[in-house]
């Protein structure tokens, strides 16, 4: 089975991912193929360079081809991205073409930044189950 995780609840990245899922991925015992992880709110903070969870996750993601994507608005608010929101204007109105939003230099390698349209495109046809934590 191929799964994608959406990390939305507090401490989903630092606790559930960092202390449960990531060690299992590293050991090869997780039991499913993880194809993507989407980070909301403060869960994005583990993706900073120097964060042990983020550094380990970046390594595993590269080895296993796991998509790591931060919510654009969440990343912009926390200084983990630069530019503007992808699919809405800074005033909160929708847009037909994506804004320029880039991952900040102090984020671990391999992380992308985007919103739902970007996530759907990146995972299209690759996921059997989406699990929200």
Q: Residue 51's pLDDT is what?
A: 98
As averages over each run of 10 residues, the pLDDT of the chain (133 residues) reads 98 98 98 99 99 98 99 98 94 93 99 98 97 98
Q: Measuring CA to CA, which residue among 11, 60, 1 is closest to residue 39? A: 11
Q: Residue 92's pLDDT is what?
A: 87
In total, how many domains does the chain have?
1
Domain that holds residue 84: 2-132
- In this structure, are residues 36 and 122 in contact, taking their beta carbons and an 8 Å threshold? yes
Q: Residue 91's pLDDT is what?
A: 86
Q: Residue 11's pLDDT is what?
A: 96
Q: Residue 37 belongs to a domain with what CATH number?
A: 3.40.1260.10
């Amino acid at each position: 089975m191929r799964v994608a995780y959406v990390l939305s609840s507090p401490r989903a990245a630092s606790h559930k991912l960092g202390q449960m899922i990531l060690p299992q991925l590293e050991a090869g015992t997780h039991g499913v193929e993880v194809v993507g992880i989407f980070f909301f709110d403060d869960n994005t903070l583990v993706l900073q360079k120097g964060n042990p969870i983020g550094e380990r996750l970046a390594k595993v993601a590269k080895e296993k081809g796991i998509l790591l994507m931060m919510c654009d608005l969440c990343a912009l608010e926390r200084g983990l991205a630069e530019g503007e929101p992808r699919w809405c204007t800074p005033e909160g109105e929708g847009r037909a073409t994506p804004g320029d939003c880039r991952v900040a230099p102090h984020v671990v390698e391999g992380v992308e930044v985007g919103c739902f349209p970007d996530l759907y495109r990146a995972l299209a046809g690759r996921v059997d189950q989406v699990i929200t934590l």
